[in-house]
A and B are shown apart, each in its own frame.
Chain A
Amino acid sequence: MEWIALIFAGLFEMFGVAMMNQLNIERNWQSFVLLVIGFAGSFLLLSFALKTLPMGTAYAIWTGIGASGGAILGMLFYGESKDWKRVFFIAMVLSAAVGLKLVS
């Protein structure tokens, strides 16, 4: 359960960062509200995950999902590079995360 919360915490973080970039493009209140929801949701879910999971593991995975998710989002919606090196590192992050779940 806490693992699912952790994954969604990372996704909410990714969403918050996307809204931050969106605000740079267009300053409207909708994006700001979504940004707040993104980051607030991220911390709430991370806090829940941290009740049971070790800090180092949870923080690393949360960061990893945020970074990978952000990169994937960029590739899908913002025309960012799909260079094999980026895909490779994203795969590395996700494998490490799965590995951490397995050794816990």
Chain B
Amino acid sequence: MNIHWMKVFISAIFEVLWVIGLKHADNFWTWTGTFVAIAVSFYGLLMAGRKLPVGTVYAVFVGLGTAGTVIAEIIFFGEPFKVSKILLILLLLVGVIGLKLVTEDDEKERGAS
């Protein structure tokens, strides 16, 4: 797999980690870990965005991050699996990803960088 997409994937993992941290951190180390995860995630995304189409990178990243967070919450934190919630989150994701992908198409057609 392309190393740049690997960066997106790894950034998404750290994204899930900092969301967990933001909710569950309760001491100096867990909070520090949370901030480190935020930095790693952000930096990785920035680096990937330099080599890959920005909109697509963001769309994939958000998709992975959201899916990861939802799954992690159900598996590790006992969040109940509610179909309505999953479907709505899916709908929201389709919206964000669709928005990013159409915007990229538009910019390509208009000759924007």
A residues with CB within 8 A of B: 43, 46-47, 50-51, 54-61, 63-64, 67-68, 71, 80-81, 83, 85-86, 88-97, 99-100, 103-104
Contact = CB atoms under 8 A, between A and B. Distances in A.
Contact of A100 (B69, B89, B99): B89
B106 A92 contact: no
Given A51-B23, A99-B91, A56 B69 contact: yes
B103 to A, nearest CB: 6
B65 A92 contact: no
Interface SS of B by simple majority: helix
Given A64-B92, A89-B95, 17 more contacts: A47-B23, A50-B19, A50-B22, A51-B23, A56-B70, A59-B69, A67-B62, A71-B99, A71-B103, A81-B103, A81-B106, A89-B102, A92-B95, A92-B98, A93-B99, A96-B91, A100-B89
A68 B22 CA distance: 23
A22 B69 CA distance: 31
Interface of B: 19-20, 22-23, 38, 58, 62, 65-66, 69-70, 72-73, 77, 79, 82, 84-85, 88-89, 91-96, 98-100, 102-103, 106, 110
B36 to A, nearest CB: 14
B95 A46 contact: no
18 contacts: A43-B22, A47-B23, A54-B73, A55-B69, A60-B69, A61-B92, A67-B100, A71-B99, A71-B103, A81-B103, A81-B106, A86-B99, A88-B98, A89-B95, A90-B99, A93-B95, A95-B91, A96-B92
